Amino acid sequence: MFEQLGLIGCGLMGGSFALAMKKAGLVKRVVGYSKSPSTTDRARQLGVIDVEAPSALLAVAGADIVLVAVPVAATEATLKAIRHLVTPNMLIMDVGSTKADVVQAARRALRDQVGSFVPAHPITGREVSGVEHADAELYTGRQVILTPMDRTLPEQFAKAETVWNALGCRVSNMSPESHDAAFAAVSHLPHLLAFAMMNSITGQAEGDDFLSLAGPGFRDFTRIAASDPKVWRDILLSNREELLAQSRLFQQTLQNIEQAMQKGDTQALEDMITLASETRAHWRMGAQRTSKGR
């Protein structure tokens, strides 16, 4: 389907996309660029990319599909760097976990070529980062949210849908603002809480002893705390207002539970836990939402 994928950012997300595209037979050649030359080199050694590009611009030269897989705060500089080679026939996507900032960055950076850009957020990830962990199956069975702009070209949007569907994803679309509000609640907040809880424990004199006793509940709860620091620094800042609002709501709810504990209000406490427990027991990943089309 595509001749050449220009991959900018050869980490977990970008590398996995390249592998998935190759495995699906959707691309003939992958030209990759990473900020760190050793990463690009490693990506080629691992067969994630076929050719190393010395710059983001040169990764785009000759590409008919481009994936920008960098920490979200680097999106604008990256798009500016490639702008001169962007054409209306080129599909450009990102994989960022925030979308309002990315859309604004794309408008500023790509200007009259912004129609080629289809903002994308595949809902997947790992607690490990780096091209060594790239996995052709990372996207399989996951949801992908597209947040097209008014100026997004219909043919590029259609191509984006086709690509993700071909990788085994369920595609839906929403506004960047709705996206960021939702993911502040169900993704960015859990990460923030997991980071804070890890640091709260290690900040205590007995922290290491405590950690040595932790079991499978802790293991799963904190898995996301091991996420890539630069990626998550950018996400927390990029979606700061929505995230702080979610964190305020969370802290109010936490304090309500604490009050029931302090009062020894057994029934209120049981009711609150029951609500949480039943909600979580009935939740199924990706089960409720259906693609709304465009």
β-bridge partners, 92: 66, 117
The amino acid at 26: L
CB 121 within 8 A of CB 142: no
User: Among residues 285, 292, 293, 294, which is the contact residue for its own copies, using CB under 8 A?
Assistant: 285
55 contributes a contact to its own copies by CB under 8 A: no
β-bridge partners, 27: 2
124 contributes a contact to its own copies by CB under 8 A: yes
Residue 84 or 233: which CB sits closer to its own copies? 233
7 contributes a contact to its own copies by CB under 8 A: no
Q: List binders of its own copies among 238-277 (CB under 8 A).
A: 240, 243-244, 246-247, 249-254, 257-258, 261-262, 264, 266, 269-270, 272-277
Q: List binders of its own copies among 138-197 (CB under 8 A).
A: 142-143, 145, 181-183, 185-187, 189-197
281 contributes a contact to its own copies by CB under 8 A: yes
How many positions of this chain bind its own copies (CB under 8 A)? 93
How far from the centroid of its chain's Cα atoms is residue 114's Cα?
Answer: 21
- Give least dist CB 247 to its own copies, A: 6
- The answer to whether the Cα torsion of 35, 38, 41, 45 is positive or negative is negative
Residues in the chain: 294
User: Among residues 127, 132, 135, 137, which is the contact residue for its own copies, using CB under 8 A?
Assistant: 127
- Give least dist CB 7 to its own copies, A: 22
Residue 31: CB atoms within 10 Å: 22
The amino acid at 88: P
CA dihedral 251, 253, 258, 263 (to 10 degrees): 140
198 contributes a contact to its own copies by CB under 8 A: yes
